[in-house]
Amino acid sequence: MVNRVMVIAGEPSGDLHGAGLVRELKKRRPDLEVYGIGGEGMARAGMELIYHIRDLSFMGFAEVVRHLPTIQRVRGTLEGILGRRKPDVLILIDYPGFNLRFARRAKAHGIKIFYYISPQVWAWGRRRVKEMKGLIDKMFVVFPFEVDIYHQAGIEVEFVGHPLLEVIGDLESTDGFRERFGISKERKLLGLLPGSRVQEVERILPVMAQAAVALQSESHCEVAVGVAPNLQEDFYRQFIESSLGVHLISGATYDLMRNSDLAFVTSGTATLETACFGTPMIVVYRTSFATYWIGRMLITLKNIGLVNIVAGRQIVPELIQGKMTPKNLVQEARRILQDSATAQQMRAELLTVRGRLGTTGASARVAEQVLGA
């Protein structure tokens, strides 16, 4: 019988999906011990946080190197817990740089290991899949195309559907959302989604904001910024001109995604979330030169936006690194905002992406198998 479960999620998206899983586990077994690394969502769902995701929120090669002592300390603490509290099951949620190394320690203790939300091995090389064989007992994947990757490597795998479908359901009405945040009902809304990591926001939001200034003056659109739950509104304000009149949206990011006429979205899970609402978007990303250079050496895909990867082709523009400039953002935005046919076609293609994510109930499917291990 499974009595103790350790879960490790290192990022806000992992906390979001991990919270659904913890909730389903505790629903079935209220007495189950669940502990590990997560965020506010997983804590509210009933998990004991050994570390918070903010303690491991590093982005880029240079940042990881600089914080190696912290990472080693966290890993050492968790390894001690493997011996003292002896979890029956370890569940890893994405975050491969840390999780795959820790999995080797857990396997040495004879612990059953499940991976939920696969590392993006299809983007940065499949050689690590071979490392996972014999280490991971079963992969629970959220994209159908991931099944063949692990099946061919001899790793037990199951497509469980994407947990996003569980959390984007009941939202506020468009009128209610705009009224609550003081957004004009007559004007188009430009949504800015600059990411959830400090380094992302610092590099990306200033460029988004400069483009928004130009678009606001020529199109008279409203501008709103989605505030990540792990960051404060004051942090965002320093990158935005006070005269711009930007609305900061806290606790309603999905409402912002759904109600925007166009969104600037930092590459990552947010592109897929925005796609689920059929909202036209421009995918952007910028990191340090060293991290970008190393990434381009490893990544084998033409597109980096999850929405384009799932679609199997580029259905929304991507402005990455040097191409992410205010001028280019404005140019792409004009094309979408001023041409209703272009926007409508993009909406239709985005909704086909949602159709590829399976059906709701991913968290419940995984929880059932974890408790039956």
**Rounded distance, CA 96 to CA 112, Å?**
17
Classify each residue of 248-266 as buried b or exposed e, where b means 16 or more C-beta atoms within 10 Å of its C-beta: bbeebbbbbbbbbbbbbbb
pLDDT score, position 301: 63
- Written as one string, the DSSP assignment of 307-320 is HHHHHTS--S-EEE
Amino acid making up residue 133: K
Compute the 3-state secondary structure of the chain and give helix, strand, coil in percent, each to the nearest 5.
50, 15, 30
pLDDT score, position 293: 58
pLDDT score, position 61: 46
Q: Which of 233, 269, 263 is nearest to 249 (CA)?
A: 233
The 10s digit of each residue's pLDDT in 277-316 is 999 999 999 886 656 555 555 556 677 789 999 999 999 9
pLDDT score, position 62: 46
Which pairing describes strands 33-38 and 4-9: parallel, antiparallel, or unpaired? Answer: parallel
HSE on the CB side for 329, CA within 13 Å?
A: 32
- The answer to whether 25 touches 367, Cβ cutoff 8 Å, is yes
Question: What is the CA angle 318-332-222, rounded to 5?
Answer: 110
Please, what are the domains in the chain? 4-162+358-371 (3.40.50.2000), 174-355 (3.40.50.2000)
**Rounded distance, CA 52 to CA 81, Å?**
16
Q: Count other C-beta atoms under 10 Å from residue 212's C-beta.
A: 28
Residue 84 phi/psi, 5° resolution? -80, -45
- pLDDT beneath 50, residues of the chain: 59-62
